[in-house]
Structure 1
Amino acid sequence: MPVSADQGHDPVITILHSDDRPKHLDGPNVRFVTDETLTAALPGTEVLLVWDFTSTAVRDAWPAADALRWVHTASAGVDRLTFPALLDSDVVLTNSRGVFDVPMAEYVTGLVIAMAKDLAGTLDAQSRREWRHRESERVGGRTAVVVGSGPIGRATAAMLTAVGMTVELVGRRAGEGVHAISALPGLLPRAEWLVLAAPLTESTRGMLDAAAIRLLPPRARVVNVGRGALVVQDDLVAALREGHLAGAALDVFEREPLPADSPLWGLPGVIVSPHMSGDILGWRDELEALFVANLDRFRAGEPLENVVDKTLGFVTSGELASPPTRTGSAR
């Protein structure tokens, strides 16, 4: 899977990474950079691979981009790249849609089952060598509302359905088997599980606030694998403390890493995980393979896959786009 020159034009590729960097992407026209060296490397760069998808350095370095035609991020979410200068440019933006769908669906399903069966309580009792019999909840027959009708949300809905849950899928617009986001307030009162798997856009930021939480029944639990900013964190903490929610499983947060003094660490019924729901063994290889397949299309002048609609902030089904010509500019 190495990057190597072909008979056509071999673009200059800059790869933004942190301590973790791709293992199989190399070549004479490949530049490996970190946040500190990105600005110096951008002049002449035609392809930018944002391998460190937690970085916000692209925004600050953008004025140095004078030949950029394509930006790819090694994540499904693109909110760290949807700043005005990139959105207003003719640079094509693609994401890693398809890599994380099933792993994240498995993670959500595992969390739902673990919480319903009080796995945390079992492990806690075991650590104290305490034999404490109790009853757990059924998963089958329960209602889950999944917000986000992209591949991750759909895979999650399918897997929760497979374990016997009734699933209401919510998306931006209504469609076959999908409720429009405007229907969410009417669905929340019967949501025993609320799963957030939506992209972060201006319309979804803070969607789970105090008003939305009040619509949920007290037995409800929240699972967030989308973006931390989908939730107004202070409102969620307050609801958990007041007993209005039965619990939450959170893989993403407003600020990451989650600060050590955050009350979420110690709240009963809360599971905190470090943004790992899609990270299975071998996921980096899958990310590289996806990028290289698109790079082959780029070199051949063919439309790229996983193109983000920059007016919406996510990939729409079947979205393809050709990169701007080599004479184009990121500005």
Structure 2
Amino acid sequence: MLYLEYRNFQKSRCHSLRKLVVTHNLEQVYVNEIQAVLPDWEIVVGKEIYKEHIPTAEIILGWKKDIKDLLGDSSTLKWVQTWSAGVNNLPLPTLHERGVLVTSANGVHAFPISETIFGLMLALTRNIHTYVRNQSSKHWHHAGLKLEIHGKTIGIIGVGAIGKETAKIAKAFGMKVLGVRNSHLSEEHVDEMYTTAELETVLPQCDYVVSTLPLTKDTKGLFSKKQFQLMKPDSFFINIGRGEIVVEEDLIQALQTGEIAGAGLDVFEVEPLPENSPLWEMENVIVTPHTSGSTEYYDRRVVEDIFLPNLRQYINGEKPPINVVDFVKGY
């Protein structure tokens, strides 16, 4: 990776150039691709040096929590392209008030996260997590293995890019797929679509409940005691969306009392997950450290599939079309 500040002109001329600031370190190949679209711009790249350039940036690619305090009243910022699908960590009201366009990296994670979802589902179903623990102590034990995933019902709560890919994979296992989103519009690989208001109708039908939801004012705390009580006692809950969608104390109680059979969790109310959390020690829980979206292709997908197409439209005086954030909905 290159940790650099890339400029087209001598420093004495930089103050007059429009500026793009990339808050991540990028390989030269991606810097070159961006430069080809912006031949007359100052391009600043690198997590070590971005801060001093934020007040004069027109476009920011990526977001860091300290950027809000760096913008200032004279900020020239017009567009933020995030490095993540979720935008709940951005000061959306402030950006909206300033007239700043925000586009997300939604879609980048569909393959790696859907793979993680099924990795968690299969591990919990086939006791792989238990056998890994047994292996460390050289303990040969059947562990009551009996479940299989074929033919079961999966409820996908949030049928966006990740949900769609998850539904597609579920069909390879002959699963019945129930989808939940804001509309009843049909979707390929989804057998029945419900709205969020109908969540309580969906939960009792599912052997696996998978949350891929973004965090908004409407989804915060969506899964609490009542929802877990509606689920089957032999069902599994998978959360790769956002931790605050779940009332964690209620989830822990549901797992401890047998209201649900187990959980695969990549996100939590507090991250890193505190060492004193009961979730670490629970035999019916698999914990991963918010890594379900990690992939060798992440940078390429953000830059080539989302940012560059958006950038070309922006330079032509048009609104970037991909993943424009709705400030009212919060995603």
Task: State TM-score, norm by structure 1.
Answer: 0.84
Q: Note if contact 1:10-1:299 (Cα within 8 Å) is conserved in structure 2.
A: no
Tell me which residue corresponds to 1:99.
108
Could you list the per-position Cα deviations for residues 234-253 of structure 1 after superposition, in whole angstroms to 9, with x for gaps in the alignment?
11112112222211111111
**Superposition map of 1:194-213 within 5 A:** 194-213=209-228
Could you list the per-position Cα deviations for residues 15-36 of structure 1 after superposition, in whole angstroms to 9, with x for gaps in the alignment?
234xxx2223557712346599
SS of the residue corresponding to residue 178 of structure 1 reads strand
- When the two chains are superposed, the root-mean-square deviation of aligned CA atoms in Å is 2.5
Tell me which residue corresponds to 2:129.
120
237-246 or 191-200: bigger deviation? 237-246
| Corresponding residue to 1:12 among 15, 19, 29 | 19
Tell me which residue corresponds to 1:154.
164
Q: How far apart, in 2, do the equivalents of 1:131 and 1:205 lie?
A: 42
- Look up the equivalent residue of 1:87 and give its one-letter code: H
- Structure 2 residue 42 is the aligned partner of structure 1 residue 29: yes
- Look up the equivalent residue of 1:152 and give its one-letter code: I
Tell me which residue corresponds to 1:327.
none
Tell me which residue corresponds to 1:307.
324
SS of the residue corresponding to residue 146 of structure 1 reads strand
Number of aligned residues? 304
Tell me which residue corresponds to 1:140.
150
Tell me which residue corresponds to 1:291.
307
Shift of 1:41: 2.5
Shift of 1:108: 0.6
Identify if the C-alpha distance between structure 1 residues 258 and 81 changes in structure 2 by more than 3 Å, giving closer, same or farther.
same
Tell me which residue corresponds to 1:326.
none
Tell me which residue corresponds to 1:323.
none
- Structure 2 residue 85 is the aligned partner of structure 1 residue 76: yes
Identify if the C-alpha distance between structure 1 residues 229 and 35 changes in structure 2 by more than 3 Å, giving closer, same or farther.
farther
Tell me which residue corresponds to 1:61.
70
Higher share of residues assigned helix: 2
| Corresponding residue to 1:172 among 173, 178, 182 | 182
Identify if the C-alpha distance between structure 1 residues 249 and 137 changes in structure 2 by more than 3 Å, giving closer, same or farther.
same
Q: How far apart, in 2, do the equivalents of 1:35 and 1:200 lie?
A: 29
Q: Note if contact 2:157-2:212 (Cα within 8 Å) is conserved in structure 1.
A: yes
Sequence identity of aligned pairs in percent? Answer: 32
Q: Note if contact 2:7-2:43 (Cα within 8 Å) is conserved in structure 1.
A: no
Shift of 1:37: 6.4
Q: Note if contact 2:82-2:104 (Cα within 8 Å) is conserved in structure 1.
A: yes
Identify if the C-alpha distance between structure 1 residues 65 and 13 changes in structure 2 by more than 3 Å, giving closer, same or farther.
farther
* Greater relative contact order (Cα < 8 A, sep 6+): 1
Could you list the per-position Cα deviations for residues 250-277 of structure 1 after superposition, in whole angstroms to 9, with x for gaps in the alignment?
1111222222222211112111111111
Q: Note if contact 1:43-1:67 (Cα within 8 Å) is conserved in structure 2.
A: yes
| Corresponding residue to 2:262 among 229, 244, 247 | 247
Could you list the per-position Cα deviations for residues 19-76 of structure 1 after superposition, in whole angstroms to 9, with x for gaps in the alignment?
xx222355771234659963x42222100112xx5x4223333435621110010111
Q: Note if contact 1:13-1:49 (Cα within 8 Å) is conserved in structure 2.
A: yes
Q: Note if contact 1:77-1:200 (Cα within 8 Å) is conserved in structure 2.
A: yes
Q: How far apart, in 2, do the equivalents of 1:14 and 1:37 lie?
A: 6
Shift of 1:292: 3.0
